[in-house]
Structure 1
Amino acid sequence: MSARRVVYAVNPSAGRGVPADLGRRLAGGVGGGQLPDLEVVLVTAGSMPELRGRAVAELAHPGGVDALVVMGGDGMVSLGAGLVAGTGAPLGIVPAGTGNDFARGAGIRRDAPAVGIERMLTALRTGDAGVREVDVVRLALDGVEHVALNSVNIGFDAVVNRRANELRRLPGTARYIAALLDSVRSFSPLEFGVSVDGGPTRAVAAELLAILNGSSIGGGIRVAPHAVIDDGALDLVVVGRLSKLGLLTLFPLAMVGLHTRLPAVSFERMRRIRVQVPAGVLVYADGEELRGPDQHACTLDVRVDPGALRLVQPQGPA
């Protein structure tokens, strides 16, 4: 019987010190090592675009692939989803980023990456891994198609995300809170045009719009506490006009679920949304910048693609 073939892609900047060849060492290739029935094809690179290109080439291998496994944070998970969503090939996730918010929503363990990849590869080798069909977020921005799994962030939370990406010395949520403190001083409210599920466009004055498939952003800040990754819907979170003090307390309140009581915060479930984004407003998806501060006004279309991704679920206690 031929060995199962797994493409194992590692974010160039992730892993928390875990060597990039960890999967190869564990698998040892066909006929050797600890996982002799599993052929692991390691894909790594010096940049994300290069990594994507190499992963695409391996996924196009004539022998096919039994799974794509990605190690990294939400941006890496989004890259993996973009490669295999809708193809039937399952995606395995080994969380090794700062936030790991999609992994939280999916109930994937976020312990040491070395433990995570060993658990993942062992489950794939033995056939003990389950598969869960989850929703994918599809975006069109300035004529370019994108895929996300956890969130699309427009406005203040995108500004905080950008600043958090610069504060690489701080861990997890602490980085996000520090970015919040730094960003709130110069932020001004925004005016959007919003159409939900094909309805009329309405004017929305807001500090931010967040479109979520998962429930949290920023390393566990549950801004959409009722969002579920396999319910065929997205959750729109709109934060209306707040004072700077209100903005400053928004995410700390969300960490304990109290933001839902604020009159300025509203929630709406939907399948698709069109947003008229003003000039200069940031748009982020799964922690990665899609639109910078120097760009013109544009239209953003977002829709849910129900059950489009087969997610590997290693067995064992959470």
Structure 2
Amino acid sequence: MTPQHSDTAGSDSAAGRSVSVLAHPGAGRGRRRALLPALLDALGPRVRLLEADDSAGAEQACRDAVARGTAAVVAVGGDGTFHRALQAVAGTGVPLGLIPAGTGNDFAAAAGVPADPLTAAHAVAQALKTRSFRRYDLARVTAAGQPDRWFGAVLGAGFDALVNERANAMAFPRGPRRYDLAILAETLTLRPRRYTVRVDGGEPWTFDGILVAVGNTASYGGGLRMCPGADPTDGLLDVTIGAAMPRRTLLRLKPRLRAGTHVTDPLVTTLRARTIELAVAGPVVGYADGERCAPLPIAVSSVPQALTLALAENPNQRDTRASEAGR
């Protein structure tokens, strides 16, 4: 993976403009809430903390900041916070800074953002000061009657999405146990669905399956490598398809997700394309970056270099050194 580098993202100088910060107070189950003042201090004196009461408000606050001409948007939280900020900055050239402080930080990990929040904050501040930006591909989701959505990591449209949907509808218990119970319930009621997939405008392919995932990066859910070959700099999307299978086979494959070795199973198919059209018999809502995205049918397309990421260079990263040498 070799990110594209740019010193000129945006049409004018960022000098004199404030940095807008979207912070999720409950990210990481609230464990890092006390870090926020130190993170804001590390980002510098011209910082504006965005206020929002809910997810929709968070997205709108980021859009408003971009419309005002903010120097950058910085997301403090996990993949959900990243996803909200992404809707405002994707395709605009406005830099996005990532400070991973959630339970899942999959895009940040794929992009090489330091895992320690304070270290990441200093890296973002340095990148904005020196205008050291990296360009990454994003995925854009189109669904009839709905505004387009962007995601950076993986979209799930099968068993994984159904687990998320069930967990979100549960009032009890709270925390990770809710997802454990949702996984158990979906496993007990596991049944294949009839999917139709069309790749790059070709002939449609219809099959019975339990899972379809579309990856811009390799992992979701805090390190589950559902699409292990996905690269957010190649202009392509990776698709992982799980065919109809009994419960015992699904349970056997689950531990292999961390290593990404599930793709070698004969019941798993992988594809790579620029555009994926996906439909299913019955109601299924796709989840992207762990967030509710859009009901199927959907079309997902790769948009090369749609994200400008504010991240100072890492001198220990080989592909970064090679890219610098080629400037």
TM tier, shorter chain? 0.7 to 0.9
What's the CA shift for 1:246? 1.1
What CA distance in whole angstroms lies between the structure 1 residues aligned with 2:16 and 2:237? 38
1:307 matched to 2:305: yes
Give the unaligned 5+ runs of structure 2: 1-13, 318-327
2:140 to 131, 138, 141: 138
Compared CA separation, residues 75 and 24, structure 1 to 2 (3 A): closer
2:284 to 254, 260, 281: 281
1:49 matched to 2:56: yes
CA contact (8 A) 2:58 2:84 kept: no
Deviations for 1:228-251, whole angstroms, at most 9, x for unmatched residues?
111100001001011101112322
What CA distance in whole angstroms lies between the structure 1 residues aligned with 2:261 and 2:235? 26
Give the structure-1-normalised TM-score. 0.84
Deviations for 1:110-132, whole angstroms, at most 9, x for unmatched residues?
22x344334423x14642x6311
What CA distance in whole angstroms lies between the structure 2 residues aligned with 1:164 and 1:98? 16
Matching of residues 158-173 of structure 1 within 5 Å: 158-163=161-166, 168-170=174-176
Aligned residue number for residue 195 of structure 2: 192
Residue type of the alignment partner of 1:47: D
Aligned residue number for residue 22 of structure 1: 37
What CA distance in whole angstroms lies between the structure 2 residues aligned with 1:175 and 1:98? 14
Identity %: 34
Relative to its length, the structure with more helix (as a share) is 2
1:39 matched to 2:46: yes
Residue type of the alignment partner of 1:41: R
What CA distance in whole angstroms lies between the structure 1 residues aligned with 2:260 and 2:35? 37
CA contact (8 A) 1:237 1:266 kept: yes
Deviations for 1:173-207, whole angstroms, at most 9, x for unmatched residues?
x9866653442111211101111000011212111
1:89 matched to 2:94: yes
Q: Secondary structure at the match of 1:226?
A: coil
Larger deviation, residues 9-18 vs 76-85: 9-18
What's the CA shift for 1:59? 2.1
- Matched length: 297
Q: Secondary structure at the match of 1:97?
A: coil
What's the CA shift for 1:164? 5.5
Aligned residue number for residue 11 of structure 2: none
What's the CA shift for 1:280? 1.9
Q: Secondary structure at the match of 1:180?
A: helix
What CA distance in whole angstroms lies between the structure 1 residues aligned with 2:252 and 2:185? 13
Deviations for 1:202-223, whole angstroms, at most 9, x for unmatched residues?
2121111000001012210112
Compared CA separation, residues 152 and 139, structure 1 to 2 (3 A): same
Q: Superposition RMSD on alpha carbons, in Å?
A: 2.6
What CA distance in whole angstroms lies between the structure 2 residues aligned with 1:68 and 1:6? 6
Aligned residue number for residue 3 of structure 2: none
